[in-house]
Amino acid sequence: MILKVNGKEIATDVDYAHSPFSQAIGLMFRRKIDEDYALIFVMKKAKRLSLHMLFVNFPIGAVFLDDNKRVIKISRLKPWIGICSCSGKAKYVVEMSHGKIDLMNIEIGDLFDF
């Protein structure tokens, strides 16, 4: 699976978190993720979401997407203490390496494809 934003490739190593268990675990307990990795949380329906970094040992970038896979919020989270929430309703959350958001110049309104 390839993850793209505005037609540009972001990641080729992509995992999905569909179940409540896989979403609860997320990236916890991993030592690191590669630059080419992304974890996509897929919700059954769009809703207000929040993320925490408990037991996540490295910084990440998180991008919240609506039903149309359009960016509605961007967060940069610190290890262990990071927390964020999205006031809009998100159907997807993409977690990736912390520098990828800036490297790919991801902005509110951008369109993801996966």
CA distance 79 to 58: 5
- Domain regions of the chain by residue span: 3-113
Q: pLDDT of 40-66, one tens digit each?
A: 999 999 999 999 999 999 999 999 999
The two beta strands, 37-52 and 13-17, are parallel
CA distance 33 to 47: 27
Q: What is the pTM of this model?
A: 0.94
Can you give the pLDDT at residue 2?
Answer: 86
Contacts of 44 (CB under 8 A, 6+ apart): none
Judge: domain 3-113, CATH 2.30.30.30. Answer: no
- Can you tell me the mean pLDDT for 61-83? 97
Q: Is the pLDDT of residue 1 over 80?
A: no
Contact 85, 48 (CB under 8 A): yes
